[in-house]
Structure 1
């Protein structure tokens, strides 16, 4: 595809992964990988994909640790950012891949209330009131758990620019 460039990535050789992508036209997206091969490109259509008013990075996509899978975060960095880290509650630190003002990182986190997310949803009828309530609870739990993963952002002189929750737990971002 003309004008598209690969940005930061994680899981490029694993069963699944993501690559931040950007186009010469200014468009941005995320290439979804499966077994090391790109299987589709989700183009970002909103104009908030590089909004740095709340913090020096913007989140394009995130995923908590459902059913034991790694937690991940992918997005864009403000021009002054050189490095981004994910930090779990137990103190584990993972440095994000950073390429052309994009970042991507995954970290193993035990999100206890999400360990059995699939079973929780399968235990109820999806189109029932109980099913909708369980889905809403799972989404709320997901935001809460994901916000416990901290992000630290540094400039090229190693000055800390941000240390806080990876996402806003209220969804106000």
Structure 2
């Protein structure tokens, strides 16, 4: 089960089943009107698939070994602010624990292509589907090489553990901001060349 539609269907079904089993749920995803968007790690151990609904809600499917496992729902829809750059970030992931860095979101109407670029010259072309994009790139984020060890060296619920977690988040944002993004229009014209994320990206 590796097609985007099948991955979305399995993630949606699993999410509704699990939320219903827990008892009354605050928000259940609508079972109809969903469309798959861009994705990364389509058949890998870990991946993600953007999804959008005709009612305006959006979601990010967690993929495991090519199957949709969960749909993180945003009933109000994800950000679509293109004031400062021709894309909006829905989710970013730093490179740690052997996984690539990733960037996912929506392109502005005039944008057609997005590249994620590392300082060593590595370039990753984003998957673009219906105005959504998803890109991942293998890069060495030095301060995150031992992210797991840093967290495991403290009790999770201790003051030291919480402080280390906050430091790791700060390091993740700093490392991720070192990645660059280039966005092009359909004619190949450069629309943006700058940092992958900014201070407001969650």
TM-score of the superposition, structure 1-length normalised? 0.94
Structure with bigger gyration radius: 2
Q: Which residues of structure 2 form unaligned runs of 5+?
A: 1-30
> Would the aligned equivalents of 2:114 and 2:182 in 1 still touch at CA under 8 Å?
yes
SS in 2 for 1:162: strand
What does 1:5-44 correspond to in 2, within 5 Å? Answer: 5-44=35-74
CA distance, structure 1, for counterparts of residue 157 and residue 50 of structure 2: 34
TM-score of the superposition, structure 2-length normalised? 0.81
Q: Which residues of structure 1 form unaligned runs of 5+?
A: none
> Would the aligned equivalents of 1:68 and 1:110 in 2 still touch at CA under 8 Å?
no
Corresponding residue number in structure 1 for 2:32: 2
Runs of 4+ in 1 over 2 A off after TM superposition: 44-48
**Per residue, is there more strand in 1 or in 2?**
1
Corresponding residue number in structure 1 for 2:170: 140
> Residues 57-101 of structure 1: CA distance to partner in whole angstroms, max 9, x if unpaired?
111111100122100111111000100000001010010000000
CA drift of 1:46 comes to 5.2
The alignment's C-alpha RMSD in Å is 1.2
> Residues 10-40 of structure 1: CA distance to partner in whole angstroms, max 9, x if unpaired?
1111111111111111111111111101111
**Per residue, is there more helix in 1 or in 2?**
2
Q: 1:99 to 1:47 in 2, by over 3 A?
A: closer
Aligned length: 171
> Would the aligned equivalents of 1:83 and 1:155 in 2 still touch at CA under 8 Å?
yes
Corresponding residue number in structure 2 for 1:59: 89
SS in 1 for 2:97: helix
Which of 108, 117, 120 does residue 147 from structure 2 map onto? 117
